[in-house]
Amino acid sequence: MKRQPRLEDAKAVTAGFLGGLIIGLVVWSTQIRRCRRDLFSRRPLRRLAALGYLGGRPSVDTARLLAEYLSWERRPVLRRRAERMLRRMQAYLT
């Protein structure tokens, strides 16, 4: 005989889904915070990695952060990359 799904099974699935969602949000928030911090790191490689991460997440906040970064960055290679990303992001958002 097949067992019928019970209320306990539905509660367990719901709790698992909500737990996974909460953990995902915490990890995502931590990653965003780390990326924003690394964008202004002393190490150029970390800044490059942070730019790459932000490039895949177009938003108004990211565009503002890139504009602030452009006024701060002194290395021409990283500035050009950030300028290209900002132009693409502005075109995407408009």
CA atoms lying within 13 Å on the CB side of residue 9: 4
- Please determine, for residue 27, whether its predicted confidence score (pLDDT) is greater than 90: no
Q: How confident is the model at residue 1 (pLDDT cuts 50, 70, 90)?
A: low
The rounded distance, in Å, linking the Cα atoms of 34 and 47 is 11
Which of 3-17, 24-38, 55-69 has the largest mean confidence? 55-69
Structural contact between residues 63 and 90, judged by C-beta atoms closer than 8 angstroms: yes
Residue spans per domain, the chain: 7-93
* Mean pLDDT along residues 76-80: 96
- Please determine, for residue 4, whether its predicted confidence score (pLDDT) is greater than 80: no
